[in-house]
Amino acid sequence: MTLLSIQNLQVAFRMGQAGGVAQRAQAVGRDGTGVSFDVPENTTVALVGESGSGKSVTAMSILNLLPDNAERQGRILYDGRDLLQATRSELLALRGREIACVFQDPMGSLNPVFTIGDQLCEPLRRHLKLGRRAALARAEALLAEVGMPEPRRRLGAYPHELSGGQQQRVMIAMALACEPRLLIADEPTTALDVTIQRQILELLARLKDKHRMSVLFISHDLGVVGEIADQVVVMRHGVVREQGPVARIFSAPQDAYTQALLACRPSLTDNPARLTVIDDHIAGQPTAATVPARPKDAQAPVVLAVRSLAKSFFLPQGLFGKREFKAVRGVNFQLRRGHTLGVVGESGSGKTTMGLTLLRLHEPTGGEVIFDGKNLLTLTDRERQAMRRRIQIVFQNPYASLNPRFTIGQTLVEPMTIHGIGASVAEREQRARQLLGKVGLDGRAFGKYPHEFSGGQRQRIAIARCLTLQPEVLVLDEAVSALDVSVQAQVLNLLKDLQDELGLAYVFISHDLAVVRFISDEVLVMKDGEVVEQAPAEQILAAPQQAYTQRLLAAVPRGWQPAA
């Protein structure tokens, strides 16, 4: 039986007027063709596609969780009722009671000034009219159901006191509080590491079967979709390109776009020289992915030698005391010119802290980082400034790492001015334009601002900014984790091209083992601040020696697999 039926849905956003004519941006539905699909009872339907494909706009249209300038047409039938005709009070009665949502960013969805218990009790008291004591008892039971450790103690905690995985469990508990019939999960695992992601996926599947609810699961990760979904709806540019059972979509996709999405995913087994890009695949040029990667020079000179690197944080304890937290303990590795060291591990394993300590963005508490014969950890401020241009970092979030008040030209020229690169402003600007071309952006980008670019384009700009200083080593901290699979492929190909052309060495920090397999020559596995395993990429992924590494690999979503 069909629980939700979306029929010919079209969504546009009013954008003001130009020349006396009202302007509208069409987000869902093109050329008179709207979005149509059904969500049967006790079924998981996945909406997949790149950023801007209309996935979230379609899902948020169900309960009208859209901005005021949105205009919706078509029909959204929930249990036979057209929600496009529902009043605000009718929608308020449905939200959280019969239809609930879990969003991508739990920290942005949870109220930072209320305890977890208060936020869990709110829907229980509002919709089920429970008293405070009964609501607290039900809230504790919900936290236990979603696998939260020490659920009674967590009721008094605030969101910032929980890890990302625990915050997402709280969001799921809130969504399930009133036992809804439909759960909308919008990218609920994108920012989580593989083991926490596995736990959340298994939790959602278990709760769906227990409560016999339907799930509308939104994701751009086809590996995740293949494991959790019964039906798949593929969207691009606001239009449904293909839909059907998960087995058919994965084993015999009919649409060229669906085929391209599947083709451009990195693999844990194959290691091509380049990843297929969606536009190339659709244009009939997928052959680059079949070329094997070239072997690296095993005798290339060592550019970075790390010995016994350690970083501790000192936390207050009692009135005057303090407690030492060892975030990084005794890390050792060598990085050769033109090579990539992949660093993997769960959240909290010390990956990012290690990367930041290499650059002295965190002051180390021990060890050596030898670069060009000098220990970076003992340099004076003047020496460190000169050396810093040769080792650069690309951060995870390109939205936060670019100054919104600077044009792209200013962003690229400023570091050259600081470090005295180029004889004049004209020469620096010319170099900046050349670098934009090198990362796949044309000269028109020079005068634009960061908000005018997509996430993938911003990450290209962040890479170009690093290249302005002609570095020898790049630390890439989750640099592609927030990108769509197609944009991710473009950026990874770019990084390989730059490495081949310029001889760059990378420290590539990621929780995505398939991405690490594609780009890395050697892999370093971290747990609780320590290196638990270190070996060539092929060896460590084919035959991991440590139980922790084996657990990380077992947690990686592999998409739909035919029954044995």
Looking only at the bridges linking them, the beta strands covering 81-82 and 473-477 are unpaired
Token output for 230: 């019964």
Looking only at the bridges linking them, the beta strands covering 99-102 and 231-236 are unpaired
The confidence score (pLDDT) of residue 317 equals 81
Angle between helices 116-127 and 164-176 (to 10 degrees): 10
CATH of the domain at 476: 3.40.50.300
Q: Is the CA virtual torsion 515, 519, 521, 524 positive or negative?
A: negative
Which residue in 311, 357, 343, 266 sits closest to 549, CA to CA?
343
The confidence score (pLDDT) of residue 348 equals 77
Residue 71 lies in a domain: no
The confidence score (pLDDT) of residue 21 equals 62
**pTM of the model as a whole:** 0.82
User: Consecutive sets of 10 residues in the chain, 564 residues long: mean pLDDT of each?
Assistant: 93 75 77 88 91 87 90 92 92 90 80 93 91 92 86 90 81 88 86 77 86 89 86 92 93 90 81 81 63 73 94 84 88 94 88 91 92 88 84 83 92 92 91 88 88 81 89 89 78 89 92 88 92 91 89 82 59
Straight-line distance from the first to the last Cα atom of the chain, in angstroms, rounded to the nearest whole number: 29
Q: Which residue's entry shows tokens 């691009």?
A: 236
Half-sphere exposure of 313 (CA within 13 A, CB side): 11
Residue 197 lies in a domain: no
Alpha carbon 331 to its chain's center = 26
The confidence score (pLDDT) of residue 563 equals 56
CA distance 393 to 402: 13
Which residue in 432, 492, 434 sits closest to 459, CA to CA?
492
The pair phi, psi for residue 525, each rounded to 5°, is: -105, 125
Decide: 74 and 9 in contact? Cβ < 8 Å. Answer: yes
Token output for 285: 């040029």
Domain limits at 483? 338-351+379-554
Residue 328 lies in a domain: no
The confidence score (pLDDT) of residue 193 equals 75
Token output for 66: 């859209």
Residue 219 lies in a domain: no
CA distance 476 to 339: 13
Beta carbons within 10 angstroms of residue 115's beta carbon = 16
**Domain tally for the chain?**
1
CA distance 255 to 120: 43
Residue 389 lies in a domain: yes
472: three-class secondary structure by DSSP: coil
Residue 535 lies in a domain: yes
